[in-house]
Amino acid sequence: MQVIHDKVTVPHQNPRLSRPRLLKVLEEGIGSCTSTIITGRAGTGKTLLAKDFARNCASRTAWYTVEAPDGELRIFFRYLVESVRRQRPGFGRDALAHFAGSPGFEDIPTLAEAFLYELQECRGEPLLLVVDDLHLIYDAEWFVPFFGRLLPLLPPEAHMLIIGRSLPPTPVWRMRSKQTLCLIEEAGLAFNPREAADLFASYGLAGSEAHAALEQTQGRAAALDGLARGLSRAMLVGVA
C-alpha cells in the first residue's frame, strides 16, 4: 500500500493566536490521562489548537489525518503505524507482521496489544500521537474493540490526542468516568471576550469590533477570524 505522506505530516498552518487557557488543559491532560479528545463542529478550531499544542509541547508528534476510506482496518492500522514510525524509526515491524497473521474480528484487541507492546519496546522521547478527523470512521465495526483496548493501556510516555466532530462511541467515551480521558468540547473551544479582543488586535482592530463580532459568531473560531480578516482588508482599502 502506498502511503500518502500528507496524511502523516503535521499540518503547515499555524493559528494566528495561541490560546493559553486551552493549551493548559491539554498540558494537564498529558500529565493525568492516557488520552485526550477535542470535539466540535467544523470551524471551531480543533486542528489549529492541536497543531499549536504539538508545536510547543515537550513530546515528539506523530500525526495522522484520517479519511473516510480508512474505515478499513488494514488501511487505518498501516497509517497509524507509519505515523509513529516517522518519530521512532524501526517501529511497526512486529505489529504489522502480527496484523498479516490475524486479524479476524476476535483478534482486534490482540492487534491493539501488539501495537502497545512495540510502543513500549521501541522506546524514545515522549510521544504525542494525534489522530485527526477520527469521527469519519467511528462506525467501523473494529473501532470499539480496538480503541477500547488501546487507550487505557497506553504507556506513560505516550499520549493520544483524538480530534473529531462528535464524541466516539459510548464504550470509549466511558473512559472519562475512570479519569483516564481528558475532554475539550465545542463550548470550551469558543473564543471568550479576551481572546476575541486579542485576535482582533492582531489585525489592528478595536475591541469594540471584537465584541460585536463575538456576539455575531458565538465565538466560533473560523467565523470570528473570517470577520476580523474581512474588516482588516476593508480598513486597508479605505486607507488606500
Say yes or no: 72 and 128 in one domain. yes
Say yes or no: 103 and 185 in one domain. yes
Say yes or no: 197 and 173 in one domain. no
Cα-based angle 18, 166, 23 (whole degrees, multiple of 5): 20
pLDDT value at position 100?
66
pLDDT value at position 181?
86
Say yes or no: 200 and 122 in one domain. no
Residue 50 CB contacts under 8 Å (≥ 6 apart), including other chains: 38, 130, 132, 161, 163
Say yes or no: 178 and 73 in one domain. yes
Q: How confident is the model at residue 173 (pLDDT cuts 50, 70, 90)?
A: low
Say yes or no: 85 and 164 in one domain. yes
Say yes or no: 134 and 227 in one domain. no
Least confident of 54-58, 158-162, 197-201: 54-58
pTM for the model stands at 0.92
Measured between alpha carbons, how far is 230 from 224 in angstroms, rounded to an integer? 10
Total of domains in the chain? 2
Helix, strand, or coil (residue 50)? helix
C-alpha dist (Å) from residue 171 to 64, 84, 146, 151:
23, 25, 11, 11
Least confident of 36-40, 98-102, 154-158: 98-102
End-of-domain residue from the set 172, 189, 206: 189
Measured between alpha carbons, how far is 7 from 10 in angstroms, rounded to an integer? 8
The string of pLDDT tens digits covering residues 75-110 is 999 999 999 999 998 898 877 777 766 556 668 998
The string of pLDDT tens digits covering residues 101-150 is 655 666 899 899 999 999 988 777 899 999 999 999 999 999 999 999 99
- CATH number of the CATH domain containing 176: 3.40.50.300
Region of 189 please: left (phi>0), alpha (psi -120 to 50) or beta.
Answer: alpha
Which domain range does residue 231 map to?
193-239
Say yes or no: 44 and 128 in one domain. yes
Say yes or no: 78 and 90 in one domain. yes
